[in-house]
Amino acid sequence: MRQRQGLFLGIIVLVAVLAAIFVYPAWIGSEYRPWRLGLDLVGGSHLVYEADLSQIKQEDKDSVVNGLRDVIERRVNLFGVSEPQVFTVQTGDKAQLVVELAGVKDIAQAIQQIGETPFLDFRLVEQVGTSTTNFIPTNLNGRYISSAALSFNETTRAPQVAISFNTEGAKIFERMTEENVGRPIAIFLDGSLIETPVVQEKITGGQAVITGRFSLGEAKKLVERFNAGALPAPITLVNQQTVSANLGSDSLRKVLVAGAVGTLLVAIFMLFYYRLLGLFATIALLIYIIFTLGIFKLVPITMTLAGIAGFILTIGMAVDANILIFERVREEMKKGLTRTAAIEEGFRRAWLSIRDSNTSTIITAVILYYFTSSFVRGFALTLLIGVLVSMFSAITTTRLLLKVSLKDKPKIKSA
* Boundaries of every domain in the chain: 2-37+244-405, 43-117, 120-230
Residue 7, pLDDT score: 58
Common-topology check for domains 2-37+244-405 and 43-117: no
**Environment class of residue 138 by beta-carbon count within 10 Å: exposed (0-12), middle (13-18) or buried (19+)?**
middle
Question: Is pTM beyond 0.85 here?
Answer: no
- For the structural domain made of 43-117, what CATH number should be given? 3.30.70.3400
pLDDT of residue 11: 61
Nearest to 70 by CA among 56, 53, 86: 86
The pLDDT tens digits along the chain (415 residues) read 555 556 556 666 666 666 666 666 655 444 556 677 777 777 777 888 888 887 777 777 787 788 778 777 777 766 665 556 788 877 767 788 888 877 776 677 777 767 766 677 889 887 666 655 677 888 887 778 888 888 888 888 888 888 888 888 899 999 998 988 888 888 887 777 877 888 888 888 888 888 777 788 888 887 877 776 665 567 788 888 777 767 667 777 888 888 888 888 888 988 888 888 888 888 888 888 888 888 888 777 878 888 888 888 888 888 888 888 888 888 888 888 887 788 888 888 888 888 888 898 899 999 988 887 667 888 888 899 999 988 887 777 777 777 776 665 554 444 4
**What fold characterizes domain 2-37+244-405?**
Multidrug efflux transporter AcrB transmembrane fold (1.20.1640)
Count of CB atoms within 10 A of residue 226's CB?
26
Predicted pLDDT at 366: 92
Collapsing DSSP states into helix, strand and coil, what is residue 336?
coil
CA 53 – CA 235 distance, rounded (Å): 10
Which of 3.40.50.2300, 3.30.70.20, 3.30.1360.200, 3.50.50.60 is the CATH number of 120-230? 3.30.1360.200
Query: 187, 144, 188: which is closest to 164 by C-alpha?
Result: 144
